[in-house]
Chains A and B, each alone.
Chain A
Amino acid sequence: MITKIVRQRYLYAMLIPAVLIVFTFSYVPLFGWLIAFVHYQPGYPLFSSEWVGLQQFKAFFTETNDYMYLLRNTLSINIGALIANLGTAFLFALLLNEIRQRFFGKLIQTVTFFPFFISWIIIYSLSSALFATSSGAINETLVQWGWIDEGINVLGDPTYSWAFIILIGVWKFLGYNSVIFISAIASIPSEFYEAAQIDGANRFQRMWHITIPNLIPTLIVLLILNSGWILNSNFEQFYLFTNTTNWEKMEVLDIYIYRYGLQLLNYPYATAVGIMKTVISLIIIVSVNAIAKKSTGKAIF
């Protein structure tokens, strides 16, 4: 074995840099989890700090009720977004497939994919340009037309927060999410359609009895696999759209961790909340993956 390793020295030479980089930036910070278990003092070595056990973890559930609104927001928004994203992508792919003008179909696909590549800051900028209460284009127009008396504050009013943040996500990810459905439709054998046509099935019957049933497995697999990420939010999105007036409905776990850690500088508490989030996520991902593997034979690992 030693001689084999020596013979493969060039391979190791190519692998080791990547191993070290990943070790430094993905594995070393895991040791930082210790902060949550000790009496942390900046500048004082972690390993010799006084051990306090699960105190910080308990604090999250006993000293405040924050977990109630955080879990409510995180789960509602993420589950809502998951269903909305996949549902719209499914419908969109189905309808796009029925567009007969190929050029028009390609154009639509090209245009809808574009927002996937633009940053959240740009989307934030577009949102405020369109939806700001007094200066936003949409509000201004509606007021000019006399439909409403004064601008609707979709960016700040908690009433609209969930719907707004979910719809913004749908806008950004529609093209991206539909790609997989479009390719699933393309892989349906054309014999299915030809046979159905010979049997006298019309267009809607073919959609209903062939296209949709063939897409359902893809939909289910995506639904199961993505549900593993239910506690994770897109940080930049929420960082930008959470503000002092809508936080009650908008603040999610990731933002809470950031706020307590880097703004209020309570490192141990923020880390503890983060650890719980990561561990629970991991458990969900592993079990969801096992379910997907068992029921459909498809899995991510």
Chain B
Amino acid sequence: MKERTISGTLFDIGNFLFMLFILLLMVFPFIYIISYSLSSPNMLKGGLVLFPAGFTFDSYAKALGDSAVLKGALVSIARALIGPAVMLFFTSMGAYVLTRSDLVGVKFFRKYFVFTLYISSGIIPMYLLMGYLQLKGTFLIYILPGAVSVFSMVLIKTYIEGLPKELEEAAVVDGANDFKLFFQVIFPICTPVFAAVVLFECVNQWNAFIDTQIYNTMSPNLYPLQYVLYNTLNQINSLEQLRDQGQKQMSAITPQTFKMAITVITVLPIACVYPFLQKYFIKGLLVGSIKG
């Protein structure tokens, strides 16, 4: 397919430049905040910061020394570890059972789960329910409502249905019961789809913020990093307070560089798992969109 024409070459150049522009559009905000957060505030002249002015880690030292940030990071890490584990346990068991067409009532159960994708009670009934269940102000409120993800269930079910039936049949001949069948035969070979849903849930948990805003504003100990960042963005006041506490190097840090540093810290873990996300999630996405 190699032919060279002038219009083709011009198009190639134009297209290349256009893609370069897209690349810049995507990357620039990150370059800007990283450079800004590494700058020393009195060196900053405003405008586009592409390289750190007066390179310093002060803002990061300050951010990592802040107890709210540290606590927030712990809460976020706990969410990102416990949430996906609990979700995978309940969801994968359910997904496997839904693949068993011999189960009495399986059609009903399939509809029972999928229905919830299309109808939601809305924010108020949910809020009242959490009150009745006494989950407000607890860590469990981050985990329990998402303990079954129907979206992941559909992905896992689709994946299991694509596995060769002989595997199950052989195990049944060997006398395995349904528990063993799932946990010893099916579970170990579902790694690719599990990786996809677990990573996705990790990111969701890490990024979540609105549940804290709705249910846990009264419990600062349960603020995840995202919420700490949100507060930092909104409450310059509290930063001014910190400044007044009299530590000397603090005057060298403006709320701006501090904000940027927390933003970078919050986004960094996503960047670290991103290669895996790309590898597993995009694959899962395509499986889901084609068959799901």
Residues of A within 8 A of B (CB): 1, 4-5, 8, 10-15, 17-19, 21-22, 24-33, 35, 92, 95-96, 98-101, 104, 107-108, 110-115, 117-122, 124-126, 128-130, 135, 137-138, 140-141, 144, 171, 174, 176, 179-180, 183, 193, 197, 202-204, 235-236, 239, 254, 257-258, 261-262, 267, 270-271, 274-275, 277-278, 282, 285, 300-301
Contacts and interface: CB of A to CB of B under 8 A. Distances in A.
A56 to B, nearest CB: 12
B150 interface: yes
B274 A111 contact: no
A99 B90 CA distance: 44
Contacts of B213: 239
B116 interface: yes
A299 to B, nearest CB: 11
Given A15-B93, A98-B12, A144-B47, A104 B259 contact: no
Interface of B: 1, 3, 5, 7-8, 11-12, 15-16, 18-19, 22-23, 25-27, 29-30, 32-33, 36, 46-49, 90-91, 93-94, 96-98, 100, 102-104, 109, 112-114, 116, 118-129, 133, 144-145, 147-148, 150, 153, 177-179, 182, 203, 206-210, 213-214, 226, 229-230, 233, 256, 259-260, 263, 266-267, 270-271, 274, 277-278, 282, 285-286, 289, 292
B113 A125 contact: no
Nearest to B125: A32
A26 B150 CA distance: 11
For the complex, would chain B's binding face be called helix, strand, loop or mixed by DSSP majority? Answer: helix
B67 to A, nearest CB: 20
B122 A113 contact: no
A118 B266 CA distance: 9
Nearest to B98: A15
Instruction: Tell which of B8, B22, B208, B259 has the most Cβ of chain A within 10 Å.
Output: B22
21 contacts: A4-B104, A11-B97, A11-B103, A18-B91, A21-B148, A27-B116, A28-B129, A99-B15, A107-B23, A111-B27, A119-B208, A119-B226, A121-B209, A126-B29, A126-B30, A135-B256, A180-B286, A203-B11, A257-B123, A261-B127, A271-B124
A82 B112 CA distance: 29
A66 B120 CA distance: 23
Contact of A275 (B30, B122, B292): B122
A130 B25 CA distance: 12
Contact of B210 (A14, A197, A235): A235
A24 B33 CA distance: 42
A268 to B, nearest CB: 9
B129 A17 contact: no
Given A10-B179, A179-B285, A193-B1, A33 B90 contact: no
A18 B177 CA distance: 20
A267 B46 contact: no
A23 to B, nearest CB: 9
Contact of A14 (B32, B182, B271): B182
Given A115-B26, A141-B47, A129 B32 contact: yes
Given A180-B289, A275-B122, A15 B19 contact: no
